[in-house]
Structure 1
Amino acid sequence: MDNLRLLSASTVLFFQILLLTKIRSQPLMDNVDQQRSNFHTDMKIDKMKTLLNDFEDRLEKMTLQLKTVQANKDSLYGKYDDLMRMYSTGETPEDETIDTICSRHPELIMQTSNDCHTYYNCSGDTVLFGRGPMYNVWPSKYKHECHYPLVFSTETLQCENYTDVDCGSRFLPTWACLYFRNQCMGSHCTPCDVTFPNCENKSDGLWPQPSKGFSPWYMICENNRTLRTGQCPNDEEWSATSFPYNGECVHIFAIPSDYDSNGLLPSCKGKVDGNYQYKERCDAFYKCENGMASAIKCPQNTIFDSVKRSCEVGGMCS
């Protein structure tokens, strides 16, 4: 009976402790829930602040871009207004009159009357830098010249690619040496045609540079203009120098001697079809077919057998 009473008392005490623990822990749990809610709220606020800052940055950049566009537009309109006022008074800019005209129209930018690659700019000194005393003949600090192959656009009032400009009746130069800035004016400067080989009257593609003679130097032509120049690389398979020939870089053993005396591909004129040995080397041969010669390299570890007339391992090459 005493044991039963003791058990009952212990049970009551246990539940009292459990109830007390729950009562005391409830505020702590409520505090944790509140902190979790505050944490998520703070995260949302921080995210909104970040998005808002990004939006403000983009808005500021767009506003700056719009101001720049508007400023350029106002400047362009101002230049056109100057141009219209000048035309209304019957003034026509020429090299002899441009200094006087610029004094009255400081914002004027316009084409020259004859050339598509030159223009007048009354807002500042010319950017044309010379290479000798002959540049003293340049008529005015207000006359400018585009860089090759750019020409002056009457729409944008600046130098643009020649493909984007209608020059009308104005002279459109295709060779860089027709630009004043590229001409050799001194006694010790490099001639212009050496620096800028001429592609006029040549079809599009790769050509030898005329001033270099028989050499690896080439030029790339397009629309009668020289796009770029360069030097043919060595042919690694043939271990030989390459040269411009028929629109591509070709090793010297594939360049016919009939084309240039420096070429090492013999002529097949008067020869029957077949394979023939180069006198300069045994690891290759040239093939004659219908009077045309072609260069052929022997496979690795073989040489051209002058008797069998084919590439052989251990072949006999005379």
Structure 2
Amino acid sequence: MLTSRLAVSMGEYQQNLCKSTDASCTPCSQRIPSCIGLPDGFNPIPGRLWSKDYVQCDRNRTIHVLHCKQGYFSPGEKACVTAIKSGDGNQFCNTNPRILIRSSDHCGQYIDCRYTRRIGGYVKECPYPDLFNPDTLECGEFTKVTCGKVPEPQAPCSYEKNLCLDPYEKCTPCPERLPSCVGLPDGDNVFAGKIWSQHYVVCYKNRTKTIKQCSSGFFDPQNRKCSSQVGTDNIATFCSHHPAARIPNKVNCAQYYDCSNRNSIYQPYLHECTYPKLFSVATLRCEDFEQVTCGARTEPKAPCQYLQNQCPSTDQSCLPCPMRLPSCLGLPDGDNAYPGHRHWTKYINCYKERTMEIKECSMGYFDEHTKRCLVEQHTTPVPTCGVDQFECDNGQCIQVTDRCNNQFDCSDRSDEINCVVKTVCPEGEWRCDNGQCLSPLSRCDGRIQCSDKSDEAGCHYNTTPRPGTYMNICHNQQNGRAPHPTNCAKYYDCSDKYHPVLQECPYPFLYSTLHRSCQNFEYVQCGQRYEPQAPCEFDQNKCKALDNKCEPCIERLPSCVGLSDGRHAFAGQLWTPKFILCHRNRTIEVTDCPDNKKFDPDQRFCVNPTIVGKTIFRHKVAINS
């Protein structure tokens, strides 16, 4: 390095010239380059661009000859650099024919001057997502390379080799083939532009690690996993991307979502097969129930398990479904007695626990023993109760000692018929001539309910419903309440006896005619009133008619009807932390397993998923990739 100020041209100073006797002396022009014609400041040595040496000039004088400690002197940036622009590759390699150096365009590219035969110049690119390591002069894992001030490419389409560069070559645009993970969390994520499809992308540190497809179903962008199910929380988004799709309801085998038809009386896009058909995931149509496999979806069998047969919450005059459409659950195939009625003209035909038809004898009544219509009742009916038991009219057996004990032990109250005549009925009830007590709405309702038929004596019937009946319900109700005539969970608030207000007990309480209040269902005698058991039979748990954001009741509060007491899996959510607690057909509690455990539907208790991974996989195989 020169430490003193020099002449305009070093060659003009005799002291810098080689002596004629010194054959080893390097010519002055090679040792001390001239600054004549160069701007003030740092400049490359003339004739030696992209070398490690450079000069400092001032008014055409060579002030200093300097050397880069790292990298090479850039003639464009007038500074020492450790990475060069791709466009400077040819010029750089002319001076440095055996050098590898990082490209300043991005950290995944480098300049390789070792090869003279090349396509696309000296610029090379690491395979995605590797980066060029200037220390090892090799492509390496991006997690082990520091880019410093050089831009760090993260998306696949930041690498030129993934782009469509040839205008004459048929090529799918890079983002449609290789989606970006920049800004996305690690793990499975939605494929940009292919939302709600089979395609999804696996991300790691903003890199697109893998592109996968669901083995069945589609990738759920909200839950970030493969699924064959859509619920009320995401159906609108799904349908916006698949306007012609039909998919099953994840919890109910008779229901499905039709994206081409948003209008529904239940929920937007939600539709239901006509009873007793079920929705097939194979054909995506409603099919005969024998042709459909429900899998984890709840399989409704009784007519009243179908929404189409339920009473609208706004229609207080609607007769509860079980009183219109009886269930065949637990009954054998063929003709059976109408539930709750013995020796009645109507009977039902069952097949695989479905109510196929409600029939009626043209004459006589249906005999449950012979399974046919009889004109006259047997004089010696086939006994069904023990010798120490009394047979109720509906076939129920009670102890003989419970007969005529002033308490209703038969669910149809027949154990208190033809007993010592009561002189007074409980407050709010109507007295038959034989002493039997009934709801006041039973009077002149067109149905004989007193065994002596006195409830229909002297009545004048209209062909239309009588609105006055509901006013009479509050007659003589001193405590301001009256039981609903057909629903054991409802009662009338008679504060204004001319305008009674229908109320409902909180689930699972029932209205006690004895206590005149809502009581624990275990201590309430419903008699002929229908006894609702499932949470979704209570109006309070149903979605309001115009509430499109409400999650259907059955998806929130599954039924325990037909299940044993104790813990059971949450229908439609097998092998998740959720489970339900049942007691006497009631859903007592919906809760979760502690400590991230899963509920085993076979063993019916919470387990550690890592211990039973194979079992979980068996249940999940249909929805995971």
SS at match of 1:243: strand
- Bigger Cα Rg: 2
1:25-53 residue CA offsets vs partner (Å, 9 max, x unmatched): xxxxxxxxxxxxxxxxxxxxxxxxxxxxx
1:54-77 residue CA offsets vs partner (Å, 9 max, x unmatched): xxxxxxxxxxxxxxxxxxxxxxxx
Equivalent residue for 1:99? 90
| Greater RCO, 1 or 2 (C-alpha within 8 Å, sep 6+) | 1
* Alignment partner of 1:163 out of 143, 146, 163: 143
Equivalent residue for 2:188? 206
**Mapped partners of 2:355, 2:108: distance in 1:** 61
1:86 maps to 2:63: no
Q: Give the drift of 1:101.
A: 2.8
Cα distance change of structure 1 residues 182 and 243 upon mapping to structure 2, 3 Å threshold: same
* Alignment partner of 2:219 out of 234, 243, 246: 243
Cα distance change of structure 1 residues 126 and 232 upon mapping to structure 2, 3 Å threshold: farther
Counterpart contact for 2:189–2:201, Cα < 8 Å: yes
1:150 maps to 2:116: no
**Mapped partners of 2:153, 2:273: distance in 1:** 48
SS at match of 2:124: strand
Equivalent residue for 2:155? 175
Q: TM-score with structure 2 length normalisation? A: 0.28
Counterpart contact for 2:188–2:203, Cα < 8 Å: yes
Question: 1:124-135 counterparts in 2 under 5 A?
Answer: 124=115
Given residue 112 of structure 2, which amino acid in structure 1 is its aligned partner? N
Cα distance change of structure 1 residues 101 and 317 upon mapping to structure 2, 3 Å threshold: farther
Q: Give the drift of 1:125.
A: 5.5
Q: Give the drift of 1:248.
A: 0.6
Q: Give the drift of 1:151.
A: 0.8
1:259 maps to 2:237: yes
**Mapped partners of 1:145, 1:106: distance in 2:** 18
**Mapped partners of 1:163, 1:102: distance in 2:** 29
Q: Give the drift of 1:181.
A: 1.6
Moved more, 179-188 or 225-234: 179-188
**Mapped partners of 1:126, 1:278: distance in 2:** 70
**Mapped partners of 1:306, 1:227: distance in 2:** 50
**Mapped partners of 1:305, 1:125: distance in 2:** 79
Counterpart contact for 1:105–1:122, Cα < 8 Å: yes
1:155-204 residue CA offsets vs partner (Å, 9 max, x unmatched): 11111111110111110111111111211122531110111012222222
**Mapped partners of 2:93, 2:86: distance in 1:** 11
Equivalent residue for 2:108? 117
SS at match of 1:212: coil
1:197-247 residue CA offsets vs partner (Å, 9 max, x unmatched): 12222222222222334321111122222111111012xxxxxx3334421
Equivalent residue for 2:354? 316
**Mapped partners of 2:107, 2:355: distance in 1:** 63
Q: Give the drift of 1:283.
A: 6.9
Percent identity reads 23
Measured on the aligned residues, the alpha-carbon RMSD in Å equals 3.9
Structure 2 residue ranges without an equivalent (≥5): 1-49, 54-66, 75-83, 250-256, 281-292, 307-328, 331-351, 357-625
SS at match of 2:91: helix
Cα distance change of structure 1 residues 117 and 159 upon mapping to structure 2, 3 Å threshold: same
**Mapped partners of 2:145, 2:154: distance in 1:** 14
Q: Give the drift of 1:307.
A: 3.0
Q: Give the drift of 1:282.
A: 2.5
SS at match of 2:236: coil
